[in-house]
Amino acid sequence: MIADVSKGLGTDYYMVEEWMSEEDREIRDRVRDFCDREVIPVMGGYWNREEFPFELVPKLARLNIAGHVIPREYGCPEMSNLASGLVMMELSRGDGSLSTFFGVHSGLAMTSIALLGSEEQRQRWLPPMARMEKIGAFALTEPGHGSDVVMLETSAERDGDGWVLNGRKRWIGNGTFADVVVVWARDEEDGEVKGFLVEKGTEGFTAERIEGKIGNRSSWQADITLENVRVPAENKLENANSFADTSTVLTNTRYGVAWQALGHALACYEAAVQYAKEREIFGIPQASFQLIQYRLAGMLADLTQMQLVCFRLSQLLDKGEMTHGRASLAKLVTARQGKRICAEARDILGGNGVLLEYLVGKHLADMEIIYTYEGTDTVQSLIVGRSITGEQAFFPTA
């Protein structure tokens, strides 16, 4: 983002960078430089082949950003909430698949353990996960329960000094190679949803990669089957005892997803402005045409609104005032406007916009994933609607 709009691409039109501390800015610049050098030049090929870039993981680990805001005593960076958002923004600006991989590992798996685990669980898992020596996954969604995930059917039965899990999960990021998977299951005794840490190699746990996606093609999601998977008592997340606990993690994750949408939009807006300045039509720069300027101004308006929503949400999070509704509104706004910006950029680039070389087509496809995961546009609208009216409208009442 460039503070002086007269000298750059105008991506910081309201000078939101002034809200960043020096530490926030340093983290943002470090991740952006990494993406410019290591990610953007290679990810088009991985995306096209549906391959996960395993060789980038050690390089990503050296940035010391995994764990985001989790305290340093667990080997994590303990960055500010704003810096955490900027990390997700820059990773998405670089590549949506890598950002999604990181969001699952750091935002879902590590956050679950940090917020809901015992001290022993935090000490055991968080340091190696912060170093990315151990990779995490988060298994909540099921084949028959996407938007109605609260109705999950995977079961957990107490058996002696442990638990036995049975069920199926779908769309589980990192599920085929994670070292630890946070599995959410319903306790057959009390009917409550609880969390369990299932370690790699556990008998009865199988994961099959889902192929043929139109977006986030380098981020591997899995269909998971749990058949009499035995989990020791110490692997139950100590403070994960209801779906309300699960929702706490999801609300925090929606904060990061809003920033991811901003990253995709930022990349496409920058590409559109640069292309319009360099491309000539009828012998004059494309940027000279009124229709192009009209569209760029509209894209900038959307982008600026997204920035203001994300930055304000970080302030509310600092104050402990990021409610479910506020997180959902941020995800709703940024997903809608990010998708619109990416589509406009693709069109401004014309035929070149569909080529991986120009990246905007890839960002547009990846935005379809952002628009869908961690709660669809419809689900976010209903969460906000519930906060407005006090009435739930997720399913018909009697």
Least confident range of 144-148, 226-230, 313-317, 354-358: 144-148
User: Do the first three CATH levels of 137-241 and 244-389 match, i.e. the same topology?
Assistant: no
Q: Note the pLDDT of residue 53.
A: 97
- What is the torsional sign of CA 373, 377, 382, 387? positive
| Global confidence as pTM | 0.94
381's tokens: 């609208």
Q: Note the pLDDT of residue 3.
A: 37
- pLDDT class of 158 with cuts at 50, 70, 90: very high
Q: Note the pLDDT of residue 8.
A: 47
Residue 234: Cβ within 10 Å count: 13
CB-side exposure of 193: number of CA atoms within 13 Å?
A: 19
The amino acid occupying position 148 is D
Q: Note the pLDDT of residue 230.
A: 97
Measured CA to CA, the distance from residue 153 to residue 165 in angstroms comes to 11
354's CB contacts (< 8 A; 6+ apart) are: 346, 361
Measured CA to CA, the distance from residue 126 to residue 362 in angstroms comes to 33
* Three-state secondary structure call for residue 131: coil
Measured CA to CA, the distance from residue 357 to residue 113 in angstroms comes to 39
Measured CA to CA, the distance from residue 179 to residue 376 in angstroms comes to 28
The mean predicted confidence, pLDDT, of the chain is 93
CB 5 within 8 A of CB 270: no
Residue 122 has pLDDT above 50, yes or no: yes
Determine what percent of the chain is predicted with pLDDT higher than 70.
97
Backbone angles phi, psi at 209, to 5 degrees: -70, 140
Q: Does domain 244-389 have CATH number 1.20.140.10?
A: yes
Q: Which superfamily does 137-241 belong to? A: Butyryl-CoA Dehydrogenase, subunit A, domain 2 (2.40.110.10)
Least confident range of 46-50, 253-257, 309-313, 372-376: 372-376
3-state secondary structure 9-50: CCCCCCCHHHHCCHHHHHHHHHHHHHHHHHHHHHHHHHHHHC
Q: Note the pLDDT of residue 4.
A: 39
Q: Note the pLDDT of residue 213.
A: 95
Determine what percent of the chain is predicted with pLDDT higher than 90.
89
Per-domain residue ranges for the chain? Answer: 16-135, 137-241, 244-389
Residue 340 has pLDDT above 90, yes or no: yes
Residue 149 has pLDDT above 90, yes or no: no
Q: Note the pLDDT of residue 396.
A: 67
Residue with tokens 């491309």, as numbered in its chain: 279
Q: Note the pLDDT of residue 397.
A: 64
Classify domain 16-135 by CATH architecture. Orthogonal Bundle (1.10)
- pLDDT class of 89 with cuts at 50, 70, 90: very high
Q: Note the pLDDT of residue 150.
A: 83
Q: Tens of pLDDT along 1-53?
A: 333 333 445 789 999 999 999 999 999 999 999 999 999 999 999 999 999 99
Q: Note the pLDDT of residue 2.
A: 35
346's tokens: 């693709």
Q: Note the pLDDT of residue 110.
A: 97
Residue 387 has pLDDT above 70, yes or no: yes
